[in-house]
Structure 1
């Protein structure tokens, strides 16, 4: 069955992520998520999808991807296909946000986003990291390793609790370097 989905027909997004095409529409074969995120953002903890594959396509900006030990910078029109079971995460560099699409095959993972949004609304507060991990397990998402790691805007994996502080430090360093050179940071 062919389907047309207009932007105002999408479900509510969460933290810059919107479902463009739900697996409910494709009979479970695939799903497409659109993301618009700021620069100097550490993405999700290092994880795997045991039963699905994920393809990233950068529309604009820059996305740093960590896939099975290798960090790659993707710019506009860059694509990365991640096979099931591969350890991966992402971040955006300082000064460069990203607009990207993720295609999940088969679909199903995309339902994590509205489920987490509803859980936050029900709780009346943000979910804890452990709450999010438990919720994500029901959507083909598994933490890679014993302790959660996130990637900094400099492409380095650090303990998850240190990633946001590392991002703030990277921004401050860039601003200081720009001030010292008399230039404006990107």
Structure 2
């Protein structure tokens, strides 16, 4: 169990707790857990091994922050479409519908949630079909609402 305020390192391509998760189209490595920050923040390094991404959704109580590390990504936040590459950042405010898609064969995206909420448990569920009713139910259970399909490539 992490102790809030502790100093720690997480090496490249490693998970904070040595439990990487496979979710949707890639591997998710927790870098900063909500347990590290008293629930204030979690950060997850996602290595996307296929094109695509999650369905259009919004978070009731969390802002979502995205930093593109590798590859090219398309983002829809609200009604605005963005094409971002390595080094680019975009902020997704809570309650604003958003989706993104990896446009490359592989891509890497650092995602942060503020506050952390239960996002780590959401990803640990390991669902891979974003069009399923199970995905919608899991999303609701973790403070999100799916409001549309994944972005077209």
Give the TM-score, by structure 2 length: 0.82
- List gaps (5 residues or longer) in structure 1: 154-186
Greater than 3 Å deviation, 4+ residue runs: 125-128
| 2:145 aligned with 1:151 | no
- Counterparts of 1:161-180 in structure 2 under 5 Å? none
What runs of 5+ residues in structure 2 fail to find an aligned partner? Answer: none
Q: Distance in 2 between matches of 1:71 and 1:110?
A: 27
8 Å Cα contact 2:131-2:149 kept in structure 1:
no
Q: Is structure 2 residue 18 aligned with structure 1 residue 10?
A: yes
- Asked if the contact 1:3–1:25 (Cα under 8 Å) also holds between the matched residues in 2, the reply is no
1:81 has 2:91 as partner: yes
Matched pairs, number? 141
Match status 1:68 vs 2:71? no
State the SS of the aligned residue for 2:136: helix
Change (3 A) 1:100 1:130: same
More strand by share: 2
Please tell me whether the aligned partners of residues 139 and 146 of structure 2 are also in contact (alpha carbons under 8 angstroms).
no
Structure 2 residue matching 1:46: 3-state secondary structure: strand
TM norm structure 1: 0.68
Which residue in 2 is equivalent to 1:173?
Answer: none
| Aligned residue among 2, 26, 29 for 2:37 | 26
Q: Given that residues 43 and 150 in structure 1 are in contact (C-alpha distance below 8 angstroms), is that contact kept between their aligned partners in structure 2?
A: yes
1:100 aligns with 2:109: yes
Q: Which has the higher helix share?
A: 1
Q: Aligned residue for 2:63?
A: 53
Once residues 101 and 129 of structure 1 are traced to their aligned partners in structure 2, the CA distance between those partners, rounded to angstroms, is 25
Q: CA RMSD in A?
A: 2.2
CA distance in 2 between counterparts of 1:62 and 1:98 reads 7
User: Which residue number in structure 1 is paired with residue 145 of structure 2?
Assistant: 142
